[in-house]
Amino acid sequence: MTKMDTQKIIAPIMKFVNMRGIIALKDGMLAILPLTVVGSIFLIIGQLPFEGLNDAIAAIFGANWTEPFMQVYAGTFAIMGLISCFSIGYSYAKNSGVEPLPAGVLSVSAFFILLRSSYIPEKGEAIADAIAKVWFGGQGIIGAIIIGLVVGAIYTVFIQKHIVIKMPEQVPQAIAKQFEAMIPAFAIFLLSMVVYIISKVLTNGGTFIEMIYKVIQTPLQGLTGSLYGAIGIAFFISFLWWFGVHGQSVVNGVVTALLLSNLDANKALLAAGKLSLDKGAHIVTQQFLDSFLILSGSGITFGLVVAMLFAAKSKQYKALGKVAAFPALFNVNEPVVFGFPIVMNPIMFLPFIFVPILAAVIVYSSIAIGFMQPFSGVTLPWSTPAIISGFLVAGWQGAVVQILILTLSVVVYFPFFRFQDKLAYNNEKKETA
């Protein structure tokens, strides 16, 4: 592949990565990380899978001892859609160089305008001024993302085009900024009302967020939750990295909302005691990506680091192996990706792509055949070391699967490394001579 061919591939990728909306989506979704990680811990404590332990604790603290833990879950993981709506609108405005707080506030307001203003129970009449909380979480997250992006964009245009109420210089800036937001606020609220009316007509009484859930989110969740979706996620992370683009960041920006929605659905099944594939549990969730597809880093380069530590003949790779070993424990492999290098290295393309795909197939199959339960418990930071992360998210079975993946990484990477190391060793000998 020539340099010109490479540039033709990289140019549209970088254009996509640097779009304001994509950057806002990535930054905005990062804001809900503390909610999902910490909130899931409280959920696990409130849904202990050991009946004997539950009974023992209930005997001391009462039958409703889990209620405070579930309340924490309800105020964290269960409202990730609402929070992401604010954070995405905020991030869009911030990355555009305008005052970001009004954009976040207006995004939340538009979110509520586009929700159903009454709650309809399964039996009985609608309850006015009550909102089904389910739309604050995973079910409403795609609608929330769309609202955050659109509101952030509209607000930014109004501010940058100076279509605002301009206050005298004597007015404090804190007050002046709020007056600047009034004209864009009117436009956003008017548009939200129009969308609300149109959605109600199109769905025979439904809402925009419900329509997005049925038309867009449900099919996308099904796609990402399939084996093909898992393989696609694994492929694109490594494929983009090979060109020097941060593949994990790009892919996370696209699929995180869907994977978290899958996880939220699994958590609801767990709370109801129905967590199984037969009951509709999802296989591919955020843990699938964070704890299995990026072990030791994108491309699962653990095998390459092991080969450098124990089989390298060249001074270059002996030194790099020592440098890369510690970061690899925490799933950081930039020293390998750029120092080996893997970027634009045709020798390492196949193992770098193939190992994560193989890992995706192994993890998916392990859950499909019942060796591992569908993920629903602890959500860990992606930097949690291997074996530990596998055990925490899927018990001893998860640790075993991770060990298998790391072993396969060594087997696959080794022959490619030997070839690369031989080239480096011969070059070193020539330079010495």
Q: Which residues are within 8 A (CB) of 17 and not within 5 positions of it... i.e. 6 or more apart?
A: 245, 246, 250
**Which contiguous run of DSSP H or E holds residue 118?**
strand 118-119
Same domain, yes or no: 305 and 426: yes
The answer to whether 103 and 163 are in contact (CB under 8 A) is no
DSSP secondary structure code for residue 274 in this structure: -
- pLDDT for position 308: 95
The answer to whether 377 and 49 are in contact (CB under 8 A) is no
pTM: 0.74
Same domain, yes or no: 249 and 387: yes
Which class for 50: exposed (0-12), middle (13-18), buried (19 or more C-beta within 10 A)? exposed
- Residues 234, 389: Cα–Cα separation, whole Å: 18
- Domain membership of residue 223 (yes or no) is no
- Domain membership of residue 304 (yes or no) is yes
- Residues 6, 237: Cα–Cα separation, whole Å: 17
**Amino acid letter, residue 118:** S
Helix axes 315-329, 302-311, angle to 10 degrees: 140
The answer to whether 179 and 165 are in contact (CB under 8 A) is yes
Q: How many domains does the chain have?
A: 2
290: left (phi over 0), alpha (psi -120 to 50) or beta: alpha
Cα dist from 290 to 23, 105, 360, whole Å: 20, 31, 12
Same domain, yes or no: 325 and 426: yes
- Residues 266, 275: Cα–Cα separation, whole Å: 6
Same domain, yes or no: 67 and 198: yes
- Residues 347, 356: Cα–Cα separation, whole Å: 17
Cα dist from 138 to 199, 252, 256, 284, 314, whole Å: 20, 16, 11, 14, 50
Provide the 3-class DSSP secondary structure of residue 33. helix
List the alpha helices (DSSP H) in 161-226.
173-180, 182-202, 208-212, 218-224
- Domain membership of residue 68 (yes or no) is yes
Same domain, yes or no: 125 and 206: yes
Same domain, yes or no: 121 and 59: yes
Cis omega before residue 341 (within 30°)? yes
| Among 338, 342, 335, 330, CA closest to 320 | 335
76 lies in which domain range? Answer: 9-214
Same domain, yes or no: 81 and 161: yes
Structure token digits, residue 107: 């995004």
Same domain, yes or no: 252 and 170: no
- Residues 355, 294: Cα–Cα separation, whole Å: 10
Mean pLDDT by 10 residues, the chain (433 residues): 61 74 84 79 70 76 82 84 92 92 94 82 65 82 91 94 84 80 93 94 88 85 85 92 80 82 84 82 91 92 94 92 91 88 89 96 94 84 88 91 96 94 89 78
Strand partners for 127: 119
The answer to whether 80 and 69 are in contact (CB under 8 A) is no
Structure token digits, residue 8: 């033709």
Q: What share of the chain is helix, strand, coil (3-state, %, to 5)?
A: 70, 0, 25
Placement of tokens 């992606």 in the chain: 382
Same domain, yes or no: 176 and 75: yes
